[in-house]
Amino acid sequence: MSASALISVDKVRRQYGRLTAVHELSFTLQRGQVLGLLGPNGAGKSTTLQMVCGVLAPTSGEIAIDGVSLAKHPLRAKQRLGYLADTPPVYPEMRVVEYLTHCARLRRVAGRDVAKRVADVIERCGLGDVRRRLIGQLSKGMLQRVGIAQAIVHQPQVVVLDEPTIGLDPLQILEIRRLIRRLGDDYGVLISTHILPEVQAVCDRVLIINRGQLVYDGPPVAESAAQSARIVDARFSQAVSAEHFTELQGLTAAKARSPQHWELQFVDDAAAQRALATAVSEGLAVRSWQPMEPSLEHLFMEIVTRDEIAAAAEAEVRA
Amino acid sequence: MILIIARREFGGFALTPFGPVLLAFCQLLLAYLFLSYVDSFLVRQAELAALPNSPGATQWVVTQWLAIASIVMLAALPLITMKSFSDEWRGGTMSLLLSAPASSLQIVLGKFIGILAVIGLIVATAALMPISLHLGTTADFGLIAAAMLGLFLLLMAFAAIGLYMSSLTRQPSTAAFSTFGILLLLWLLEWTVTDDITGSRAVFAYVSLFRHFQPFIQGQIVVADVMYFVLVCALFLGLTVRRLEAQRRFD
C-alpha cells in the first residue's frame, strides 16, 4: 500500500446475505493510470465500484481514496471522486446545463467557480449543441456523455466509470473511449467492462475478477509477444488431417476448427516459422498462416475456463 | 449542502407535470369545501346569531373546513412524498447522492426541507381562502394564523412519515399506498376515542395525529401539541437516516 495511491483497496469483502459477491479483493490505482476491471457478468465488478465510491459499505476491509479512509472520513474521501454508475444518474426533466450545475454544487464546487466548471465540462464532453435540451430527450450516446460530464465536473482526482460504453453504437463507443483515454492524462481512472477489446483500447493495466476473486493483475496484453505468437491460425485449400502435421517439429498441439482450418501451437516462434516452410515444401496448399495477435481474450478465456473447471471439479469432490 | 438537495427535491416536484396538477386539484377541492362552508354559514347566519356564545364567521367556517381539508391532504400528501427516495433508487440517481460528499442526515434533511417548501406553498395558497372572508366581514386573523400553523405542522408530520415509507421501497406506488394506510390508521384511531379518555384509550388519543391538530383549528396554540408534531418528525426522519445507513451496509 503506497501512500501515493489514488485508490487503495485492501482485503475488501462484501456479502449480500449469505452470498459473498467479493472475496478479499486488494488492488491500487496510481495517478495517471487507466485501470480496467474486467470480468464476466455477475463477477462482482459493479459491487466493487460501488464500494470504492461509498455507495455500498464493504462487509470488511479498508478502502482509501488518495490516502483518505472512506470509512472514517467519508465526506473528505468522496470529494475526491467522480462516479458514473451503470445507468447514468440523470433527472430527465432537467436541462443539461441545469443538471451539471446541480451536480457541481452537490460536489461542493465553490459558488463562483460553478459556471466556469460547467462550461469547461460541456466543452470537454462535446455537449455544446445540447446544453439547453431536456435530458429526457437525449440519445443514449449523449446521455452517457452527460454521465461522464457529471463525474468530472468537480475535477476529482479519481474517476470511476461502470460499463461506460454499454448500449452505444460503434461510433459512439469510439468517441467515449477517446474521451476516457484523455481523462487518463489528468485523473486516475477506474473503469469496469466485460468487453475485452475495450480494455485493450483504453487501459494501462487490467484486473480480471471472476466469482469475486482477483485472478489477474497486469498489463492488458500477454507478457511477451513471442509467447502468443506461438499460436498460429492456419487455413488450407484442401482438407487436412492430423497425420499431415506429424512431420512438423516443435508442434505441441493441433486443434481442428474445420478440415481446412486449424489452430496450431508451437514451442516457440522460430518453430512456427520452420513449420511453415516444411508445410509448403511438402506440398500442403497453405491459404493463410497467421500468428495470433497477443490477446487478452486468450488470457481471459483461459483464466475463466480454468476457474470453471476447478469449480466443477470441487463440486464433484463434494458430491 | 442541505439546501442544494432541498432545491432539487422541490424542483423534481415543480418541474414535472405531476406536481402542478396535484397542487391544482388540492386547491380545487379545498376551495370547493371552503365555499360550501361559507354557504352554510350564510344560510344559517340568523339562527347562529341567536345562540349564546355564537360562533363568528371565521370560527364557523375555518374550524369545520380544516377538519375536512386535513382528510383531503391525508390522501394527497402520500403522492407528494412517494417519489422522494423510491424514484432516486429506480432512476439510478441515488448513486449520485450516495457518492456525493453529503452525509445521510444531510440527504434526509435536504429532501425533507424540499417537501416542506411544497407544503408551505399549499398552506400559503390555502390561507388565502379564509383571509378572503375579510372582504365581507371582519376576519379573525388570530384564529386563521393558529389554524394554518396547525395545518403546516400536521402536513409536516405526514411528510416525515411519507419520506420514511419512500425510503423503504423502490416502487412509488407502494410508498404512496403504505403512507396512506398509516395516515388513515392514525386518523381512524381518533374514532376509538370518545370523550372518555382513560386507560388504553388515552394511548390512542395521544398517538392520534388529529387529536393534536384539533386545538389549532379552534384557535389555540398548545406547546405540547407543537412538540408532539416536532417529535413525530424527528422520529421518522431518524428512522429514514438509519434506513439509508442500513442500505449501504446490508443491501
Q: A112-167 pLDDT, tens per residue? A: 999 999 999 998 888 889 989 999 999 888 898 899 999 999 989 899 999 888 87
CB contact under 8 A, A81 and B11: no
Mean pLDDT of B165-189: 91
CB pairs under 8 A between A and B: 74
Distance from CA of B158 to the nearest CA of A (A): 26
Q: What is the pLDDT, as a whole number, of residue A317?
A: 72
Angstrom distance (rounded) from CA A49 to CA A32: 18
- The answer to whether residues B187 and B71 touch, using CB atoms and an 8 Å cutoff, is yes
Domain ranges, residue B41: 2-250
Q: What is the pLDDT, as a whole number, of residue A1?
A: 44
Higher-pLDDT residue of B201, B44: B44
- β-bridge partners, A15: A20
Angstrom distance (rounded) from CA A270 to CA A274: 6
**Given a cut of 50, is residue A224 above it in pLDDT?**
no
Nearest of A119, A12, A94 to residue A59 by alpha carbon: A12
- The answer to whether residues A74 and A65 touch, using CB atoms and an 8 Å cutoff, is no
- Could you tell me whether strands A286-291 and A231-236 are parallel, antiparallel, or unpaired per DSSP bridges? antiparallel
CB contact under 8 A, B99 and A150: no
Which residues in chain A are closer than 8 Å to B97, comparing Cβ atoms? 106
Mean pLDDT of B70-98: 91
Which residues in chain A are closer than 8 Å to B94, comparing Cβ atoms? 55, 89
Angstrom distance (rounded) from CA B198 to CA B181: 26
Angstrom distance (rounded) from CA A77 to CA A72: 9
- Structure confidence at residue A294 as a pLDDT band (50, 70, 90): low
Arithmetic mean of pLDDT over chain B: 89
- B30-36's contacts with Cβ under 8 Å and 24+ in sequence apart are B30/B65, B30/B69, B30/B72, B30/B126, B30/B129, B31/B129, B33/B65, B33/B68, B33/B69, B33/B72, B34/B61, B34/B65, B34/B129, B34/B130
Query: Which of A48, A106, A152 has the highest number of chain B CBs within 10 A, making it the mutation to test binding with B?
Result: A106
Kindly give, in sequence order, each residue whose CB lies less than 8 Å from that of residue B114, ignoring residues fewer than 6 positions away.
B5, B6, B7, B8, B9, B10, B12, B13
Q: What is the pLDDT, as a whole number, of residue A114?
A: 92
Share of chain B above pLDDT 90, in %: 56
Q: What is the pLDDT, as a whole number, of residue A255?
A: 79
Determine how many CB atoms are found less than 10 A away from the CB of residue B23: 18
CB contact under 8 A, B92 and A87: yes
3-state secondary structure of A201: helix
- The answer to whether residues B109 and B2 touch, using CB atoms and an 8 Å cutoff, is yes
Share of chain A above pLDDT 70, in %: 92
Higher-pLDDT residue of B56, B221: B221
Q: What is the pLDDT, as a whole number, of residue B96?
A: 92
User: Is some CB atom of chain A closer than 8 A to the CB atom of B249?
Assistant: yes
Mean pLDDT of B129-140: 85
Mean pLDDT of B7-19: 89
Which of A65-79, A175-189, B173-187 has the weakest average pLDDT?
A: A175-189
User: Is some CB atom of chain A closer than 8 A to the CB atom of B16?
Assistant: yes
Mean pLDDT of B10-21: 89
Kindly give, in sequence order, each residue whose CB lies less than 8 Å from that of residue B153, ignoring residues fewer than 6 positions away.
B213, B216, B225, B226, B229, B230
A54: alpha, beta or left? (left if phi > 0; alpha if psi -120 to 50) = left
Q: What is the pLDDT, as a whole number, of residue A220?
A: 76
Q: What is the ipTM of this complex?
A: 0.85
Global pTM?
Answer: 0.83
Structural domain total, chain B: 1
- The answer to whether residues A7 and A158 touch, using CB atoms and an 8 Å cutoff, is yes
CB contact under 8 A, B101 and A79: yes
CB contact under 8 A, B99 and A81: yes
Mean pLDDT of B41-49: 84
Nearest of A42, A50, A38 to residue A12 by alpha carbon: A50
- A117-122's contacts with Cβ under 8 Å and 24+ in sequence apart are A117/A153, A117/A154, A117/A155, A118/A153, A121/A149, A121/A152, A121/A153, A122/A96, A122/A97, A122/A149
SS (H, E, C) chain B: CHHHHHHHHHHHHHCCCHHHHHHHHHHHHHHHHHHHHHHHHHHHHHHHHHCCCCCCHHHHHHHHHHHHHHHHHHHHHHHHHCHHHHHHHHHCCHHHHHHCCCCHHHHHHHHHHHHHHHHHHHHHHHHHHHHHHHHCCCCCHHHHHHHHHHHHHHHHHHHHHHHHHHHHCCCHHHHHHHHHHHHHHHHHHHHHCCCCCCCHHHHHHHHCHHHHHHHHHCCCCCHHHHHHHHHHHHHHHHHHHHHHHHHHHHC
Q: What is the pLDDT, as a whole number, of residue A95?
A: 92
Angstrom distance (rounded) from CA B201 to CA B194: 8
Angstrom distance (rounded) from CA A292 to CA A229: 6
Mean pLDDT of B22-37: 93
Q: Where are the alpha helices (DSSP H) in chain A?
A: 45-52, 74-78, 96-106, 114-124, 140-152, 170-186, 196-202, 225-229, 269-281, 296-318
Q: What is the pLDDT, as a whole number, of residue A298?
A: 67
Q: What is the pLDDT, as a whole number, of residue B105?
A: 95
**Given a cut of 50, is residue A2 above it in pLDDT?**
no
Which residues in chain A are closer than 8 Å to B15, comparing Cβ atoms? 93-94
Q: What is the pLDDT, as a whole number, of residue A319?
A: 63
CA angle B179, B94, B7 (to 5 degrees): 75
Q: What is the pLDDT, as a whole number, of residue A51?
A: 92
- A176-181's contacts with Cβ under 8 Å and 24+ in sequence apart are A176/A141, A176/A144, A176/A145, A176/A148, A177/A201, A177/A202, A179/A124, A179/A125, A179/A145, A179/A148, A180/A34, A180/A148, A181/A34
Q: What does the block give as the cell for B239? A: 428512522
